[in-house]
C-alpha cells in the first residue's frame, strides 16, 4: 500500500533530489511534482528528469499533492510555506527534512494554520549540494526522525513513517525538543567543530596552505568533508537550534580544557584512559550498520 | 637500484607491517627481519609471514641490517634504541616513522651516539592497529616527511628518500621543529578534537548512547574513526609534541569562541562567510590526490 500518491517536493537539492529519485525507484507509480526557488535549479531538474513535472511556483507544485515535502534550509521554511499556503489542499500532509525541529514546527504552524504538519528529519547526506548530487539509496538503513506536534493525527504520523520506510529508512518518533538536543550532539556540534578547525588550519602563519593540503592525510582531511557542506543550510541550522548548540558546545569546551590540562602536565595515564574509552563507540556504530565497516571509511588506497 | 638490501623493522603494528608488506611487493629481493616487543605479535607475524625472519630481540634484528626502521610509539623510541645500540652495525642507517620529530631525533641521538640517524614520518594510516591491519599500498601517493639532523650525510638522506619513493610515497625534507608544528595542525589537533567530541557525546545525560550511535550519520561518526586510533601511540604523541599542540589548540579555541559568539548573536552573514571559505580547501585536497574524490569518502550506500 502506498502512503501517498501525489508528492510535491519543494527544494530540489541533495535531499529533495534524493527523495525524488528514491520515490521513483521504490514507489514508481507515485506522481512527483518538484519546485525550487532557483530558476537554474528548475531548469537543471527538467534536464535530469527525476520528477514528472517541474512547477513554476510553490503554489502550483502543491495544488494536487497529498504529501508536500519541504527540502529547503530551515531559515526558509516559513517563507516558502507562506508562498503556497493558499493553494494547499485541506487533506494534504506537510512534512520537511530540516535538521532542527522545534523551529520548523513553530514556523510551519504559523504559516499554515489548520494544516496537518508532521515534521521529519532523515539523518543522511553527503558533503555535496544541488540537484545533481542526490541518489536513490541515500536513505537506505539510515534513521529518519519524525517529530509530530502534540495532538497530531496518528494516521498521518503512520503515513509519513510508511513513506520513509518505503524509501529504505528506519523511523523513530521523537519530541521536537529532544530531537534538537540529540542532533546538537550527533550533527551540529561535529559540523561546528569541523568548520572551526578547517578555518584554524588555514590561518596558522607558520604553516602554508600547501602544507595543510599535502599532509592532510594525518587526520585533517576527515574534517574537510563535513566542512564543505552547504553553507546556507548550516548557517540556518546553528541559528535555529542555537540554545541546544550552545549548551553542547559548553560541554565540549570543558572536556577539551580537561584534555588540554592532561597534555600540559604530561598526564599519560589519564590521556590513555580517555583514548581507550572512545574506541568502543565506533565499534557499536559499525555493528549497528551506521558506518562503513571497511578501514578508513572504504577510501581507495591505490 | 635498491637503496637498502637488509631491512630491520622494529615494531610490527599497522605501520611496521605495512612497510614490510610494501617492501615485499616493491623490492622483493630485500631481506626483511622483524621484531616486536610483544611475544604475541611476534607469534602472529610468524603466521602471517610478511617478514623473512622474526628475531627474538631488537639486537638480533638489527645485527645484519643496513636500514633499521623503528615503528614503535614515540615514547618507546629511546628505550628500544638502547636495547639494540650495542648490536647496531656502524654503517647502518637508523630511521623511524614517529609522528613527532624533534623528540624522536633527541631520543635516538642520545641512545645511539655516532649512528647515522635520519628520522622520517609517513603521513598515512588507518584507524586500525596491530600486525593484521597493514597493507602494501598504504603509502601510495601519501607524503613521507624526512627530518635529518644538521650535518646529516646527504647520501644517507637520499637513500631514505629513495626507500620511501620505491614504496610509492612522495617525499619532502623538512626541519624537525617545522614538521612538529605542521603536524600539530594537520594531525595532532584533529585527533585531539575527535577524541574530545567522542567523549563529550558519550557523557551528555539527556542523550542516550543508543541515540548517539543511531543518529551518528549526521556527522558524528566521521570523528569516531580517528578517535579509535591506537591510544598509546596518541598518548605518546601529545606528550612528545606538547608545545606545538598547545599552541595550535589555543588558536582553535579562539576561533571556536568567535564562532560561538556569531551563533549567540545570530550573525548569519559572518557564519555563512566562514562556512563558504572552508569549502575551497577540500577541493584542493581532492585535486592533489590526498583524499578520495567520491562523495562521503566512497562509503557504501546500500
Asked if B211's CB is within 8 angstroms of A182's CB, the reply is yes
Sign of CA dihedral A80, A83, A87, A89: positive
Give B-chain residues touching A260 at CB under 8 angstroms.
Answer: 246, 249
> What pLDDT is stored for residue A47 in this prediction?
98
Q: Which of residues 188 through 247 in chain B touch A, CB cutoff 8 A?
A: 188-204, 206-207, 209, 211-229, 231-232, 234-236, 238-239, 242, 245-246
Do residues B229 and B191 touch, judged by C-beta distance below 8 A? yes
Q: Is B301 touching A (CB cutoff 8 A)? A: yes
Across the interface, whether the CB atoms of A203 and B251 are under 8 A apart is answered: yes
Please give chain A's pLDDT, 302 residues, in tens: 899 999 999 999 999 999 999 999 999 999 999 999 999 999 999 999 999 999 999 999 999 999 999 999 999 999 999 999 999 999 999 999 999 999 999 999 999 999 999 999 999 999 999 999 999 999 999 999 999 999 999 999 999 999 999 999 999 999 999 999 999 999 999 999 999 999 999 999 899 999 999 999 999 999 999 999 999 999 999 999 999 999 999 999 999 999 999 999 999 999 999 999 998 899 999 999 999 999 999 999 87
CATH of B178-292, one of 1.10.3660.10, 3.50.30.50, 1.20.1050.10, 3.90.1150.10: 1.10.3660.10
Structure confidence at residue B105 as a pLDDT band (50, 70, 90): very high
CB B292 within 8 A of CB A300: yes
Which residues of chain A are within 8 Å of residue B13 when distances are taken between CB atoms? Answer: none
Looking at the complex, does the CB of residue B6 fall below 8 Å from at least one CB of chain A?
Answer: no
Q: What is the pTM of this model?
A: 0.95
What pLDDT score was predicted for residue A301?
Answer: 85
Which contacts qualify for B262-271: CB closer than 8 Å, 24 or more apart? Answer: B263/A192, B263/A238, B263/A239, B263/A242, B263/A245, B263/A246, B264/A242, B264/A246, B266/A239, B266/A242, B268/A75, B268/A235, B268/A236, B268/A239, B271/A231, B271/A234, B271/A235, B271/A238, B271/A239
| pLDDT at site B302 | 75
Chain segment A171-193, per-residue pLDDT in tens: 999 999 999 999 999 999 999 99
In this predicted structure, what is the pLDDT of residue A246?
98
Structural domain boundaries in chain A: 6-174, 178-298
pLDDT of res. A188: 97
What's the length of chain B?
A: 302
Per-residue model confidence (pLDDT) at position B1? 86
- Which CATH architecture describes the domain A178-298? Orthogonal Bundle (1.10)
Task: Tell me the nearest-neighbour CA distance from A245 into chain B, angstroms.
Answer: 9
Q: What is the dihedral sign for C-alpha A93, A99, A105, A111?
A: negative
Chain B residues inside the 8 Å CB shell of A189: 197, 200-201
Residue in B172, B186, B219 closest to A220 by CB: B186
pLDDT of res. A302: 75
Residue with cell 631514505: B160
pLDDT tens digits, B35-79: 999 999 999 999 999 999 999 999 999 999 999 999 999 999 999
Q: Choose, out of A215, A252, A283, the residue to mutate when testing the contact with B (most B CBs < 10 Å).
A: A215
Which pLDDT band, with edges at 50, 70 and 90, does B225 fall under? very high
Q: What is the pLDDT of residue B72?
A: 98
Size of interface A-B (CB pairs under 8 A): 377
The domains spanning A6-174 and A178-298 adopt the same CATH topology? no
Cα gap B66→B85, rounded to integer Å? 14
Q: Specify the pLDDT at position A130.
A: 97
pLDDT, mean over chain B: 97
CA distance A201 to chain B (A): 6
A289 touches chain B (CB under 8 A): no
Q: Is CATH 3.40.50.720 what the domain over B6-174 is classified as, yes or no?
A: yes
d(CA A257, nearest CA chain B) in Å:
9
Amino acid at each position: 500500500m502506498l502512503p501517498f500518491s501525489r508528492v510535491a517536493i519543494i527544494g530540489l537539492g541533495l535531499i529533495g533530489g534524493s527523495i525524488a529519485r528514491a520515490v521513483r525507484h521504490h514507489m514508481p507509480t507515485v506522481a512527483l511534482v518538484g519546485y525550487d526557488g532557483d530558476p537554474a535549479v528548475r531548469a537543471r531538474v527538467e534536464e535530469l528528469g527525476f520528477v514528472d513535472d517541474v512547477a513554476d511556483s510553490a503554489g502550483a507544485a502543491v495544488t494536487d499533492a497529498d504529501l508536500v515535502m519541504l527540502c529547503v534550509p530551515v531559515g526558509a521554511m516559513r517563507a516558502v510555506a507562506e508562498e503556497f499556503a493558499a493553494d494547499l489542499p485541506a487533506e494534504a500532509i506537510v512534512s520537511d527534512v530540516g535538521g532542527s525541529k522545534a523551529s520548523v514546527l513553530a514556523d510551519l504552524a504559523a504559516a499554515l494554520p489548520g494544516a496537518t504538519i508532521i515534521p521529519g528529519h532523515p539523518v543522511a547526506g553527503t558533503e555535496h549540494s544541488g540537484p545533481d548530487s542526490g541518489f536513490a539509496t541515500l536513505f537506505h538503513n539510515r534513521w529518519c526522525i519524525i517529530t509530530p506536534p502534540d495532538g497530531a493525527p496518528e494516521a498521518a504520523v503512520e503515513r509519513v513513517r510508511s513513506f520513509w520506510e518505503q524509501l529504505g529508512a528506519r523511523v523513530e518518533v521523537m519530541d521536537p525538543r529532544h530531537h534538537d538536543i540529540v542532533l546538537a550532539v550527533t550533527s551540529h556540534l561535529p559540523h561546528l567543530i569541523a568548520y572551526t578547525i578547517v578555518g584554524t588550519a588555514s590561518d596558522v602563519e607558520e604553516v602554508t596552505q600547501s602544507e595543510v593540503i599535502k599532509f592532510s592525510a594525518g587526520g585533517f582531511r576527515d574534517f574537510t568533508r563535513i566542512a564543505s557542506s552547504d553553507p546556507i543550510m548550516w548557517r540556518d541550522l546553528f541559528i535555529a537550534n542555537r540554545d541546544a548548540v550552545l549548551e553542547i558546545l559548553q560541554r565540549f569546551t570543558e572536556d577539551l580544557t580537561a584534555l588540554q590540562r592532561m597534555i600540559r602536565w604530561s598526564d599519560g595515564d589519564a590521556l590513555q584512559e580517555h583514548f581507550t574509552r572512545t574506541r568502543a563507540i565506533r565499534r557499536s556504530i559499525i555493528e549497528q550498520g551506521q558506518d562503513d565497516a571497511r578501514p578508513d571509511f572504504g577510501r581507495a588506497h591505490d
